Structure 1
Amino acid sequence: MRIQRIGSKWAKTKVLQQSEALNERIPLTNEWSIPVLGQMLDEHHMLYVKPDRGTFGNGVIRVEKQADDLYTYQLGTRLKTFSAFDAMARSLQKALQGRHYLIQQGIPLLTYDNRRFDVRVMVQQNLKKQWEATGIIARLGDPSKIVTNCHSGGKAVSFDKLMQPYMTPSQKESYKAWLAEIGLATAQQMQSVYGGVKEIGLDVAIDDSLRPWILEVNTIPDPYIFRKLADKSIFRRIYRYYRANNRKVK
């Protein structure tokens, strides 16, 4: 059996929401509608509108309500500004082209050299079919983009380097252990509903109070991002498990 892929972000979100502990780590997320967009903007002022199905950050839109009651949204590198919510919402509705989208509370990401970054936590079944957190790496976004994905101009960088301005070395080790715990709990929760899940790549935002937020769960995570780490043993282990988990059973 090959790894099971769950494409719907909404389906994965609903699975995680069944866990009280994990639900606390999920930004408020709803299915797209203009009334919901207005309600969420009034409360959070910055949101991400993302396609229910898709990879590499393609199609993700950042929507903001500015202090002067201007509204903006950015898709790719293009920023549009509106003087009224209704005009912005109509334009955004047209941009979605009738596809299924979600609205997610925006989490202000930590920055390094004025570039936003988030974190990827890799969790895999090992050779004994036990869940193991195998790698943690940060993704430093392109300054002109709203997503951090490496396929969209982001850069894979060690977690320790990017967190250096925010934590001591011992605090970073404790924090990585915490992220690993969250990753393991997420993998187990996903597998409780989708039995074929053998690996996850957990995308985590860290806000300015150093609170971790679960942005997305990838069930077919890219192992090759971890080649960027100086410690090559991390990638070798990840790739060994990846090969084992993707082996066809005759």
Structure 2
Amino acid sequence: MASTHTGALFSVRITGAWRRTPASTPAHHEPAAMARNHLRQQTAAILRKHCVLNLPAAEDATNTAIGTWSCPMEGLEVTGTVHLDTTAHDCALAQEHIRRRQAQDLAHEAELRRLTHLQTLLADRDLRRMWWIAQFPDRFSECDALKEALQDLPSPHDAEAEEDDIRRDIRRFTDQLLSDLHAPQQRDLFLTALIQTLRALGHDELTAAAAAFQSQPAPRSEPT
């Protein structure tokens, strides 16, 4: 079966079982075939997210998914276990994929640094003029045209500062919001809504953190 790297394959052995659910009849006339197909599809979908270089992780993930009884259709429940293997050729192919991806990442990082440096030069009036003279010494008169073409090109540092301002505004808003939640009922209502939102967005770690915060006793104000 396919892995996360094209051409690098898992060798898969699936052991499965199926049963009829109580007081029901499978809608398919070949429930065993349906069960086998269901286990193969589940296994293939999971293995496409894993690398052949880490068989234990791929095997654990697959067995976690197919190792409990599931219901692919009315009247039928299926479970199974999987054992994975791979070949030296497939491992070498996966390693080559990883090596190429790392080389691409390094090339992209170098290109980004080069472009960021160029943006820094072009965004600064004096540096832009010196860069233009160094690159095109016989076209000095066209430097003003370059300035017009660039218009208000921001410096990379300006973009970072703008992002920092946004983060600062968000923190200020959050601090003000939390400070306004005086009553325990307000605090609990806010956290409940926050947990529901994070869960809907699929942020499991943030959801767990918010739930843990909700379980803490609300701070009591000292009497004056």
Q: Tell me the TM-score range normalised by the shorter chain.
A: under 0.3
TM-score, scaled relative to structure 2? 0.19
Q: TM-score, normalised by structure 1?
A: 0.17
Tell me: higher relative CO, structure 1 or 2? Use CA pairs within 8 A at least 6 residues apart.
1
Judging by fraction of residues, say which structure has more helix. Answer: 2
When Rg is computed on C-alpha atoms for both structures, the one with the higher figure is 2
